[in-house]
Amino acid sequence: MKVRNYPLLAACLFACTALAQNAAVKIAGEGEIKNEWDVKSGHKLTAPGYPEEAKGMTDNVCVALGYRIQPDGTTSDFAVIHNWTSNIKAANQNVEYLDPYARAASDAVSQWRFSPKPGIAQAQAVDTVATIAFKGSRRGESLGAIREHCKVADLSAALKERRDVMEGEQMVNHTRLDRMYQEQARAERRAAAEKRALGSGAYHPNASSKGY
């Protein structure tokens, strides 16, 4: 069972709607970037350790983290595409439960550096995904087995789904903001009408205010 947990993205993780929106940006699955990119000399694709905030937990967790390799080999535009935990109950009870794992994954991938393959004169940005596994003290599954819970078979479809979710959330947020502004405007008009009524001596606290 996959757990969708996205508050971290809105709070501190990047412009994830940028992923795959630009038609000029290629999309490559996790094992496909090796066709055009090498790990930059002197760098390693280090994996994060178990998050400090979650130390002592027994839960196994994986995060499929979408990211963009820029033409200069740096990484950006991180976005959680899928995630999973062996502790579904905790994740459902706390929307921030998986945030430490997403932060750890993005912190690690942000340090990754690539260089284009020899013979590629003009490197192009590419959107791809890294599947990060966190093994707690729970026995049973290996890191490879944990990663399988977050495997992205069709990255293009996953990025589109994620983008659609973000666009839907943005529309909901816009609607809430519009409603809040309308309520605030009504309150301001009401206060102004009551102030005018007080100034004229015609105001009575039990009377209906006019002008709003």
Domain residue ranges in the chain: 7-153
For CA atoms 24, 28, 34, 37, the dihedral sign is: positive
pTM of the model: 0.68
- Average per-residue pLDDT in the chain? 79
The CATH architecture annotation of domain 7-153 reads: 2-Layer Sandwich (3.30)
pLDDT tens track for 7-26: 443 333 334 445 545 556 88
Q: Which of 24-38, 61-75, 84-98, 173-187 has the lowest mean pLDDT?
A: 173-187
pLDDT at residue 109 above 60? yes
pLDDT tens track for 69-86: 999 999 999 999 999 999
